[in-house]
Amino acid sequence: MPKKQRAPITTTDSGIPVASDEFSLTAGPNGPTVLHDHYLVQKMQHFNRERIPERVVHAKGSGAHGFFEVTADVTQWTNASFLSQVGKRTPMFARFSQVAGELGSADTVRDPRGFALKFYTDEGNYDLVGNNTPTFFVRDASKFEDFIHSQKRMPDTGLRSNDMQWDFWTLSPETAHQVTVLMSDRGTPRSYRRMNGYSSHTYSWMNAAGERFWVKYHFKTVQGIENFTLAEADAMVSEDPDYLRRDLWDAIAAGDAAEWRLEMQIMPFEEAAVYRFNPFDLTKVWPQADYPPITIGRMVLDRNPENHFAEVEQSGFAPARVVPGIGLSPDKMLMGRVFSYHDTHLHRIGANYEQLPINAPKCPVHSYNKDGAMTYRHAGTQPVYAPNSYGGPQADPSKETPTWWVEAAEIGRYAYEKHADDDDFVQPGALYRDVMNKTDREHLAANIIAHASDGVSADIQTRVIDYWSKVDPDLGTRVASGLGHRVAQRRAA
């Protein structure tokens, strides 16, 4: 709260001084209120319009400002201006979030966490909209809405349903990798400052010579990873539902800036076609032995927002926002998100949401888009069409972002073409067997059992056991014995 100082006079939004903060205009002390008390009426009208639609996904978030600093020369891979020099700093804003819960939901419920970054670069805003997991549940945008519906609420009861979640997951084997991470203790991080962030998608970089590379971003927490156990996360739901928001705010307010190291995985352009995994499949990682991460920079968050609504709620991130030197990839989920994110902000905030201070670039804007509700960036006498003879902005062909090949083929509805090692269960199996320690494995099994015991039908529990047996037979056995009694009886019957 601001420090106490001599209070200014209350005004209307038009700046007109107001005569009373407590009494409305009435016909005598006991008489009815009159409609021409415009101050009272406008106060009520504005109050009724205080909320904008909450995000359908990632509704509850927390944010902080900071900067990105380049720590290694990357000009051999990209000519992105903000990455052009060691030591170069770019201001940025980060928003962390829950995925499925609504605006007021508890912070420590099991969920992936959003990790959305906005870099205010000198060549426009670059948004990297990732998660704290390197993969995702589905690989084709056509399944995204169905997946999210399964995580939300039942149409009749308005309740969330574990049965619905496991039904979707077990019918969609490509979810196994992400669900393994979600059901591990990484599904309940102890702090936004103590989790990693991943681009998850593959993007492209292009250097000044026009050479292209495929890349993945890994933001590694310098604070170290820390997670809640299931019991701790459950307890925190009632103890402090805003725990993660408070932790981030308090740390930064106390001068304890949060830092992440940016490590890149970089794949030569031609290797994508012959790599053993489909490098654009969002349910897969690139094993680090194949593409060792290279440290190239650091992200520091050291300033809290001044106003939560203006900055955290009205921020709009969109993966379509890539800057010269950086491009997209033929990842089918990314293709869908490139459309969907900007579209949702047009609906949620308005046609000119990019003019709000939190979203506005810090470099000049010379766009031919004009007008619309609430616009206040006007182009003066600038021509409103291109081409023109009156000195309007002109595009620069050298600023094309990297593109990639498209095979000439019949338009149709396809699964990805298989690469040698593509399989929905290979990578989660490797995570379980080769990466997790004994405690991680025990907690994973216990978390699955607790989740799949809670309101999940016997039929779907049978599929849950089959699903985890495919990830790893030992894990399947553990889950079966945890859920087993009912399943064993059913099988015997």
Secondary structure E strands in 235-293: 258-268
- 220 scored as a contact of ligand NDP (CB under 6 A): yes
- 439 scored as a contact of ligand NDP (CB under 6 A): no
Distance of CA 81 to the CA centre of its chain: 24
Under rule CB under 6 A, which residues in 90-109 are in contact with ligand NDP?
Answer: none
Cα–Cα distance, 27 to 33 (Å, whole number): 7
Which of 55, 186, 419, 478 forms a contact with ligand NDP (CB under 6 A)? 186
Distance of CA 326 to the CA centre of its chain: 19
- 288 scored as a contact of ligand NDP (CB under 6 A): yes
Of 58, 177, 419, 451, which one is the catalytic site residue?
A: 58
Tell me, yes or no, if 65 is annotated catalytic: no
Name the residue with tokens 């509704």: 59
Which of 55, 65, 118, 218 forms a contact with ligand NDP (CB under 6 A)? 218
Q: Minimum CB separation from ligand NDP for residue 441, in Å? A: 9
Cα–Cα distance, 62 to 304 (Å, whole number): 10
Pick the stretch among 4-12, 148-156, 286-294, 369-377 that binds ligand NDP (CB under 6 A): 286-294
Which of 215, 258, 285, 456 forms a contact with ligand NDP (CB under 6 A)? 285
Q: 173 and 425 in contact (C-beta within 8 Å)? A: yes
- 264 scored as a contact of ligand NDP (CB under 6 A): no
Burial class (CB in 10 A: 0-12, 13-18, 19+), 420: exposed
Q: Minimum CB separation from ligand NDP for residue 291, in Å? A: 8
Pick the stretch among 136-144, 238-246, 280-288, 417-425 that binds ligand NDP (CB under 6 A): 280-288
Of 65, 79, 125, 131, which one is the catalytic site residue?
A: 131
Contacts of 195 (CB under 8 A, 6+ apart): 113, 115, 132, 186, 189, 221, 225
Nearer to ligand NDP, 285 or 349 (CB): 285
Cα–Cα distance, 471 to 473 (Å, whole number): 7
Coil vs helix vs strand at 301? strand
Q: What is the per-residue binding string for ligand NDP in 295-314, x denoting contact by CB under 6 A?
A: --------------------
Nearer to ligand NDP, 113 or 186 (CB): 186
Pick the stretch among 352-360, 378-386, 435-443, 461-469 that binds ligand NDP (CB under 6 A): 435-443
Q: Minimum CB separation from ligand NDP for residue 290, in Å? A: 8
Tell me, yes or no, if 131 is annotated catalytic: yes
Helix (H) or strand (E) segment spanning residue 124: strand 124-131
Which of 44, 373, 435, 492 forms a contact with ligand NDP (CB under 6 A)? 435
Q: Minimum CB separation from ligand NDP for residue 286, in Å? A: 6
Interior CA angle at 250 toward 245 and 256, to 5°?
Answer: 120
Cα–Cα distance, 161 to 138 (Å, whole number): 19
Coil vs helix vs strand at 211? coil
Under rule CB under 6 A, which residues in 351-410 are in contact with ligand NDP?
Answer: none
Would strands 258-268 and 212-221 be described as parallel, antiparallel, or unpaired?
antiparallel
Nearer to ligand NDP, 216 or 321 (CB): 216
Q: Minimum CB separation from ligand NDP for residue 431, in Å? A: 3
DSSP letter string over 321-371?
A: ---TTEE--S-HHHHHHHHHHHHHHHHHT-TTGGGSTTTS-SS----S---
- 436 scored as a contact of ligand NDP (CB under 6 A): yes
Q: Among candidates 144, 150, 153, which has minimal Cα distance to 283? A: 144
Helix (H) or strand (E) segment spanning residue 430: helix 426-430
Pick the stretch among 39-47, 98-106, 284-292, 360-368 that binds ligand NDP (CB under 6 A): 284-292
Cα–Cα distance, 361 to 119 (Å, whole number): 9
Nearer to ligand NDP, 229 or 401 (CB): 229
Q: At what angle do helices 438-453 and 176-183 cross, to 10 degrees?
A: 100
Which of 81, 184, 188, 200 forms a contact with ligand NDP (CB under 6 A)? 184
- 251 scored as a contact of ligand NDP (CB under 6 A): no
- 224 scored as a contact of ligand NDP (CB under 6 A): no
Residues noted as catalytic: 58, 131
Q: Interface residues with ligand NDP (CB under 6 A)? A: 134, 181, 184, 186, 196, 218, 220, 285-289, 427, 430-431, 435-436, 440
